[in-house]
Structure 1
């Protein structure tokens, strides 16, 4: 498989998110918490963001999927990461890793290496982050690699996809990339094939970005319109935009 998803597949996965309302447990950076929570809610999912090492496993145990974002990792987060990995491993729960600035920090690289031992993990990063992880990813053949940019590329054991939707304003608002990882996790919570799940999430998010850009005057109003566009995305709009 090496193509974009069709509108019917994207609509089906989004409908399952809206119907099941999976809770996505996010150990994420402080810059992105609010926007991530709002995007998940607009998408039809439910966010939880407990980070204390003494409770994070209990809270994550009932979630539909887990997100680990390394953007503002601290001592609590460093202790919490192994506990979240163990929950995901013990329960075969989908887990998405967002290796923010992994190329800048040995600590982040070490935590990413621990995460990449998890079977079936999904990694979503920009091209610089994914290049920094290339040696570790080469040793994790079961991982799904999601490289986002002007064209999003998804590589999984079952094939690959390229997603061409989105808008340049999505790079002008803090936290929108981090939020995309949470949306991938939401789709992974309802779709067993991570290639399809990531493709649906990024297609929907990119189309919402295109709609928001048409209605906004700059980054500030774009962020507001993006939440609305994501919340109001329907099968007819997907069909019209994807073709």
Structure 2
């Protein structure tokens, strides 16, 4: 069961998901190599279109026409380090929504520096686990209009004058690599069609969590769970949302 101070209900979630499916927005993902395949498949299941160019000489051109941009620091390399400032420039010049996934930022001075540079932009959505978010707490406190999305057993969304607590999901979602990273891409996808960043994040995590619950009921273990999760997300409708959101 999910609870939300912002009045989240199945109709609101379904409306955002319908806009994603109808508009088929492109999400440009500079993401870690471990998560690329599952991230692309989850975006496609939601109805969005993934692009994943990472070469510093083309990343700005490819990202410029995207509806949202995801920067994931999970397997950062020299090429990615040079690409990030170019994506930041695109966001600044074109006012494209940006989601930052600060994977293991607490372990690496390089990741911390890159995250701090990204958070100089206003309006960034940060999706991370509790340890990552704690490491960035001071930086986010100084950032302009940042949306904090802390995922765990209960997902917490804070910012833009709203707060949501999302309790959907299943333990198997922690047993398949890349599924957390994929959730950041889904947040970005919903943000392309929803101007309220908190509602966009709440929609993405609610849909993903409910799809996880449906998939877990069909799966024999982590391997089949990943397959069923894609199917459940692709087939999610308002009836399923109403049944699980109460």
SS at match of 2:242: helix
1:80 equivalenced with 2:68 (yes/no): no
Which residue in 1 is equivalent to 2:99?
A: 96
Choose which of 196, 214, 220 in structure 2 pairs with 1:217: 220
Tell me by how many angstroms 1:5 deviates: 1.4
Matches within 5 A, 1:117-132: 117-132=120-135
For residues 63 and 157 of structure 1, the distance between their equivalents in structure 2, rounded to whole angstroms, comes to 23
For residues 115 and 60 of structure 1, the distance between their equivalents in structure 2, rounded to whole angstroms, comes to 16
For residues 41 and 228 of structure 2, the distance between their equivalents in structure 1, rounded to whole angstroms, comes to 12
Tell me, yes or no, if the aligned pair for 1:21 and 1:44 is still in contact at 8 Å. Answer: yes
For residues 120 and 43 of structure 1, the distance between their equivalents in structure 2, rounded to whole angstroms, comes to 24
1:110 equivalenced with 2:113 (yes/no): yes
For residues 157 and 235 of structure 1, the distance between their equivalents in structure 2, rounded to whole angstroms, comes to 26
Tell me by how many angstroms 1:4 deviates: 6.0
Tell me, yes or no, if the aligned pair for 2:172 and 2:222 is still in contact at 8 Å. Answer: yes
TM-score (norm 2): 0.97
Alignment: residue pair count: 243
Tell me, yes or no, if the aligned pair for 1:141 and 1:157 is still in contact at 8 Å. Answer: no
Which residue in 2 is equivalent to 1:154?
A: 157
Listed as ranges, the gaps of 5+ residues in structure 1 are none
Tell me, yes or no, if the aligned pair for 2:127 and 2:150 is still in contact at 8 Å. Answer: yes
1:19 equivalenced with 2:22 (yes/no): yes
Tell me by how many angstroms 1:157 deviates: 2.4
Matches within 5 A, 1:39-54: 39-54=42-57
- Aligned residues: CA RMSD: 0.9
Matches within 5 A, 1:132-171: 132-171=135-174
Choose which of 233, 236, 241 in structure 2 pairs with 1:238: 241
For residues 4 and 83 of structure 1, the distance between their equivalents in structure 2, rounded to whole angstroms, comes to 37
TM-score (norm 1): 0.99
1:9 equivalenced with 2:4 (yes/no): no
